[in-house]
Amino acid sequence: MMITPFTTEKHEALRQHVRMFAETEIRPIAHKLDKEERFSPELTKKMGEAGFFGQYLPEKYGGQGLDYLSLVITVEEIARVDGSQASTVASHNSLGIGPIYYFGTEEQKQQFLPPLTKGDKLWAFALTETNAGSDSRGTETRANLESNQWVINGSKIFISNAGGPLAAGATVQAITKEENGKNELSIILINTNEPGFERERIANKMMWRSADTGKLKFTNVTVPEKNLLGERGKGSKMMLQTLDSGRLTIGAMGLGLAQGAYEMAMDYAHKREQFGQPIANFQVIAFKLADMATKIELARNTLYNAVWRKDNGKPFGKEAAMAKLYCSEVAKEVADEAVQIHGAYGLVQDSDIERFYRDQRILQIGEGTSEILKLVIGRHIGLK
């Protein structure tokens, strides 16, 4: 049992539960799902039944009353086996459930949250548009208030959990007013079954090929005024606060992927023989593995410290940015060295390390590119 300064026996028992699930339920089919580029509702339902959705929600909303570190450990252990399924869990919990829980009214929480903890419905975080990515205020989707109804027009792209059969709805940032050349941005909750709500799954991805990623289009989609989430005009602030928490789960994906890649490299280095002995015996390979282990240890401590700050009500925006930046970069470095250790065998699609090498690439882009995160960190430490 790997108890750290940040974890308890309960945390580590949860880790073993998630690891067992990942090994028995995900690993046997991960390669096949990736190759077929197929999102699995059946596996998502199993993850819901295993308790991987809504862990940090109070029981009255269908949750388990756990801390955020429990979610981070869950994502980390799933990512150790498969980035696609980790993406489903991370985005649904942090970006789907999170904003409704943190900013919703009691009525909204009671209405939307309980169905999202079972694994048969997923919720999306619809921020990114063709011209709104790193610049989150570049939103062009509009919502006009007409007779106590929001009428929404616009589109979103690269939205997790948005295009598949379990997609139940989305938290959508839209312009709700334009005055003196300045846009008022607000957030609205929209169910996918509303007339005029069109969805399309994005195919031919390099990474997370068995995760659900979609495009959304809104054509006069109409929802009640009460579907406004939080205060009108505070959309950008709420979205950015949501991303702070989301960066912790993306950090967990990087950490878990690095751990999985390292374990594959270690196993291969002991089995692969050259010049009459395992290549792990050669100093050049041993040093690579030692560097991997060191980076993973530092990444885990950096991430868990940021999560501890969130769980204990302390400011964590800077630490979340640092953790996401560092864990994603470590994932890149460890996956690259793991492929190097595998040699040519790491370059074919029948090798799990090839999938890990592809999956790590999104981690330096999603929920804040590495470049944007350095700007965020810079502002926290007093730079302009």
| Residue range 330-369, pLDDT digits in tens | 999 999 999 999 999 999 988 999 999 999 999 999 989 9
Place of tokens 């090994």: 23
Q: How much is the pTM?
A: 0.96
> Please, what are the domains in the chain?
9-117 (1.10.540.10), 122-234 (2.40.110.10), 237-380 (1.20.140.10)
Which one from 25, 129, 367, 371 is the annotated catalytic residue? 367
What's the confidence (pLDDT) of residue 180?
Answer: 81
What's the confidence (pLDDT) of residue 3?
Answer: 62
Query: Do 90 and 249 meet the contact criterion of CB atoms below 8 Å apart?
Result: yes
Residue 233 backbone class (left: φ over 0; alpha: ψ -120 to 50; beta: rest): left
Query: Do 319 and 305 meet the contact criterion of CB atoms below 8 Å apart?
Result: yes
For 87-129, what is each residue's pLDDT tens digit? 999 999 999 999 999 999 999 999 999 999 999 999 999 999 9
DSSP conformational letter for 244: H
- What whole-number distance in Å separates Cα of residue 89 and Cα of residue 47? 8
Residue type, 159: I
> What would the mean pLDDT of 248-260 be, rounded to a whole number?
98
341 vs 4: which has the higher pLDDT = 341
For 220-250, what is each residue's pLDDT tens digit? 999 999 999 999 999 999 998 999 999 999 9
What's the confidence (pLDDT) of residue 354?
Answer: 98
> With bands split at pLDDT 50, 70 and 90, how would you rate the model's confidence at 20?
very high
What's the confidence (pLDDT) of residue 102?
Answer: 97
- What whole-number distance in Å separates Cα of residue 353 and Cα of residue 159? 26
Kindly report the average pLDDT of the chain as a whole number: 96
DSSP conformational letter for 211: S
- What whole-number distance in Å separates Cα of residue 72 and Cα of residue 281? 35
What's the confidence (pLDDT) of residue 1?
Answer: 56
For 40-62, what is each residue's pLDDT tens digit? 999 999 999 999 999 999 999 99
Query: Do 124 and 192 meet the contact criterion of CB atoms below 8 Å apart?
Result: no
- What whole-number distance in Å separates Cα of residue 44 and Cα of residue 124? 15
- Among residues 229, 224, 190, the alpha carbon closest in space to that of 101 is found at 229
> With bands split at pLDDT 50, 70 and 90, how would you rate the model's confidence at 384?
confident
- For the stretch 110-113, contacts whose Cβ atoms lie closer than 8 Å and that sit 24 or more positions apart, written own/partner, are 110/61, 112/169, 112/189, 113/54, 113/57, 113/61, 113/62, 113/63
- What whole-number distance in Å separates Cα of residue 175 and Cα of residue 171? 13
SS3 144: strand
* Active site annotation includes 367: yes
What's the confidence (pLDDT) of residue 5?
Answer: 85
Asked whether residue 4 carries a pLDDT value surpassing 80, the answer given is: no
Q: What is the DSSP string of 64-124?
A: ----HHHHHHHHHHHHTT-HHHHHHHHIIIIIIIHHHHHH--HHHHHHHSGGGGSSS-EEE
259 CB-side CA count, 13 A: 21
Query: Do 24 and 82 meet the contact criterion of CB atoms below 8 Å apart?
Result: no
